[in-house]
Amino acid sequence: MPLTVTDIDFVRDLVVKQSGNILRTGQSDLIESRLAPIAKNAGLANVEQLIAELKRSRSPRLSDQVAQAVTVNETSFFRDVHPFNALRSRIIPDIMKENAARRDLKIWCAASSSGQEPYTLAMVIREHFPTLSDWNVRILATDISEKMLDKCRSGQYSQLEVNRGLPARNLVRFFDRSGSVWTTKQELQNLIDFQKLNLTTAWPLTTQFDVIFIRNVLIYFDQKTKAEILSRALRLLRPNGYLFIGSAETVIGLGLPLEREEIDGTICYRHANR
């Protein structure tokens, strides 16, 4: 039996409270398919019973599982390739000059999903900037979902996943194959730290970053939450750093001290008063 409007509204409200994500209307099929495994693992007969249990107990653990389950995790290697071209052609060379004395490079991938974005960044660095091998290069990959972080840490991808956006030369150089599974090589994994982080709650981050990728996640938040997230991200962005958001996202109307810059066909943002 399909979920009632009341049940769907309850789930939508719960997800907003837990993660800040706003589920669009007409997503009842997505909600049911994502929540069915949670209901089964909890020993409940169906999603309706799961929702009834949530209404009754307000279990933080169960609520967190639901919020994680219905979060959209859609990504691919070299997604919207232009930002990575800009990093290769201008941004990383400029950062290397700026950071020559301290010899470090810090990048943050917020909402890293199943890991294709941080591993893409690691490939760009290893393939095009061999002189960074003796620098302190760190890529922080964060996500709200422990399940996604576990996948990130494993570095394992199916044939279908590596077929999406990954050039053949990168597959051969940076992955090992075992049957139908491709695993990222240790030289990529060594560059990345994985950490659970909810963008709408307190951030346990103090590092200053040269580049922040916070792409294709802001579309799930309201204007107030977007502004709060980006404002906090700016406080972690070094004075000459670069901020990337999704190609379908905008900072218009958020009132933030950002300067728009176009590099090699992609848009990024920088501190307005740097």
In a domain, 75, yes or no: no
In a domain, 203, yes or no: yes
Question: Which residue, among 260, 271, 262, has the nearest Cα to 233 in the 3D structure?
Answer: 271
Query: Are 133 and 35 contained in the same domain?
Result: no
Query: Are 31 and 98 contained in the same domain?
Result: no
Question: What is residue 1's predicted lDDT score, i.e. its pLDDT?
Answer: 60
Last residue of a domain, one of 46, 70, 94: 70
Last residue of a domain, one of 49, 70, 91: 70
Q: Which residues of 182-218 are buried (b: 16+ CB within 10 A; e: fewer)?
A: bbbeeebbebbebeebbbbeebebeeebbbbbbbbbb
In a domain, 76, yes or no: no
Query: Are 26 and 88 contained in the same domain?
Result: no
Question: What is residue 21's predicted lDDT score, i.e. its pLDDT?
Answer: 65
Query: Are 61 and 195 contained in the same domain?
Result: no
CATH number of the domain to which 21 belongs: 1.10.155.10
Query: Are 18 and 110 contained in the same domain?
Result: no
Q: Is the backbone of residue 102 left (phi > 0), alpha (psi -120 to 50) or beta? A: alpha
Who contacts 127 (Cβ-Cβ below 8 Å, separation ≥6)?
Answer: 170, 173
Query: Are 93 and 196 contained in the same domain?
Result: yes
Query: Are 190 and 248 contained in the same domain?
Result: yes
pLDDT tens digits along 15-39: 777 766 666 666 677 777 778 888 8
What total of structural domains would you count in the chain?
Answer: 2
Query: Are 149 and 256 contained in the same domain?
Result: yes
Query: Are 254 and 225 contained in the same domain?
Result: yes
pLDDT tens digits along 60-107: 888 877 777 776 656 789 998 999 999 999 999 999 999 999 999 999
Question: Please, are residues 35 and 7 in contact by the beta-carbon 8 Å criterion?
Answer: no
The CA-CA-CA angle for residues 233, 83, 174, to 5°, reads 105
Residue 59 structural domain: 5-70
In a domain, 42, yes or no: yes
Last residue of a domain, one of 70, 94, 116: 70
Question: Please, are residues 43 and 34 in contact by the beta-carbon 8 Å criterion?
Answer: no
Side chain identity, residue 232? R
In a domain, 257, yes or no: yes
Query: Are 98 and 187 contained in the same domain?
Result: yes
Side chain identity, residue 84? F
Query: Are 129 and 60 contained in the same domain?
Result: no
- Splitting the chain (274 residues) into consecutive groups of 10 residues, what average pLDDT does each group show? 79 74 67 81 85 83 77 78 95 98 97 93 97 97 90 94 93 94 97 95 94 90 92 97 92 93 93 87
Question: What is residue 72's predicted lDDT score, i.e. its pLDDT?
Answer: 60
Task: Tell me which DSSP letter residue 88 carries.
Answer: I
Residue 264 burial by Cβ neighbours in a 10 Å radius (0-12, 13-18, 19+): middle
In a domain, 103, yes or no: yes
Question: Which residue, among 86, 113, 117, has the nearest Cα to 220 in the 3D structure?
Answer: 113
Tokens standing for 260? 């728009």
Query: Are 56 and 102 contained in the same domain?
Result: no
Who contacts 83 (Cβ-Cβ below 8 Å, separation ≥6)?
Answer: 213, 215, 244, 266, 268
**How far is it, in rounded angstroms, from Cα 107 to Cα 181?**
27
CATH number of the domain to which 256 belongs: 3.40.50.150
How many helices (H) and strands (E) the chain has is answered by: 12, 10
The sign of the torsion formed by the CA atoms of 184, 161, 119, 33 equals: negative
